[in-house]
Structure 1
């Protein structure tokens, strides 16, 4: 979630190592993902990131099992002579993984399950605990995963950081090629588990509720049955939301500590001054905003994510307020490395922003979607959301209402703006090849998708 970085926007969360990157580089204040064809939004977001393809082309590439045929991000840099390394969450096809990376360490699954009493918390009698290592999830079995002592466990974030540090140590010794590292922390995805000392940093009674907290979303936003929304009871109480946010903050701070270990290893390697470091995420999370818990929505909490880039020629402590897609990292890193951007890549490079070469907007509107149940269009000031199952619009003025609490869709004084935003949404649909006709939307049942 983009509102969880101490030095940017949330002093409630301890993120000293992400703050190092913020102070040392440029952070993009308005970074977005472009939506998803499935409830597992990370799959779509990572597919767009690694292929550089726009939403519906990326969907086709994955569903046709052709993503291995598209030169993906790591593969392009590997072909250009980079030593490429991967650890952690991948969540794409195995063909692309093997083609992309010369060095593959512990590759985790897309989702680390911990199902025993994990849902409907903190309901009375539910004994699930984020520190109970027997529940697995992020607590990986060292015997099965790491050839460690039988019965011992290690948090996934620590495992992936260990792998990254080991690679940097080897790279320091060999120093024969430029390198590209893809370190995919599963955190802060649920189950939101972290060691006791990190949980203790966030007493429940000290956690603030978001301004747009609601016990329940005011209407059917498409699917209340997705697993993310089942994590907390309906309706959500203040205790429910504070409990989940406590655990969310704890796993973020624990992940931050592992990021710090990797940054320290990069410093020891002697190559930090010649290395670009990118910190971003798949998407955001509601965790109590609007009565929701997950990422299957078009609100700012879920559509935006952090994007921080540190490296040579980037002004320390700078920020960029233009709207960008996280999926631009493919083209951006190619341009920074002097590698030709493959012609299929559609998301443009952000190098001109990073190097201070331009201040002109790359995007005048940002498109968002969730299979056949939601569509959105966002400009710098306004957002329009369309809910297919109930044929309902929402309209927000984000400058006056950044928490999206005042729906203007039925306000007669904003009728002209609503018409303009609908036209802009349709134009973007046509440009991207979106098959959904919002004037004649299909009848949608829970779980339906293309």
Structure 2
């Protein structure tokens, strides 16, 4: 998994209106967590709608390596026989995380409070990403981490049991750091607390409570205090994973900017910590309606109908950043077609994603004839007022799946075809993306 196949360049041309109904792959955040917690429950859990991308499969492989039995039925339902909290086994070889930062950070938390040693390795992109923000609180709990220079992969983590419960205030808004500490707290005697000054996605809290962990969430003057009582007994669950709002994002923008479009994206998770992009697009005038709103497994879900609408530039509220951090690249694409100058700030986190998403998107949009101004923490984009953008460029996606998909969306309303230098990384999060594009546009370009 950790060596890159030859690049797969892809040229995308405008294809006219998007029409029809699709579903998107299961939510990546929920897919990772459902495998991990099922592997710590005693008995068999069933998972429907699991995202079968490379990142989630890396989590499945790691949980198998630590003793869980994980099988996929012919009908796509996954069955997991867990080992119980405290029951993780010493893996026989290094855990290959591929490109998955989520797998790495959350699994470090799980291992930290078990008496085992695990070595984490990843591909070139993941090996450049900083892990210090997770290492620091886990070391306070007693884990011993030997990382590569700069707190990077490969790293070796020696867990400890019993670990020490801590109260930890998050220095940066990060659901992954929060989740790593809570997962470490599962097998730690006493109460482990995370204080969150800025709210981040809460999938871990919802799912831990669903599996039966003793967890409380309290709003205080310092922020949200999430407390978990350790030495938990998790009960097996039947989980239906909702569609990933980060994957739906590409279609919300595509249908908004391509004239004549009218689509329905079914079964999209609408957890309020994940809907920042929908909020921002509606502020810009997007026509997005929720149909058949429902609750599935503790998570709000609806079908989203999106019709083409003229977009207006906005100043993106900085407080939306945590709930749309992965959607900024495609928001920049929406801004490229809006009327006026859209200013998006407060997104420093984009500099340390799979690529530097601010610099990479600024270069990509600029190459396609869009006027952009890069800021340390975001971007100002001058839109086309709904007209097609010039296009005609070859884009460096920097092995980043979200850049590749975002620029595919931009190409759907460009005057000249746009070439993505490597479309292969899209498989990490959305293996059926290009098939869905064909379904909505009646096949390949005319």
The normalised TM-score by structure 2 is: 0.25
More strand by share: 2
Pick 1 or 2: higher relative contact order, CA cutoff 8 A, min separation 6.
1
TM-score, L = length of structure 1: 0.25
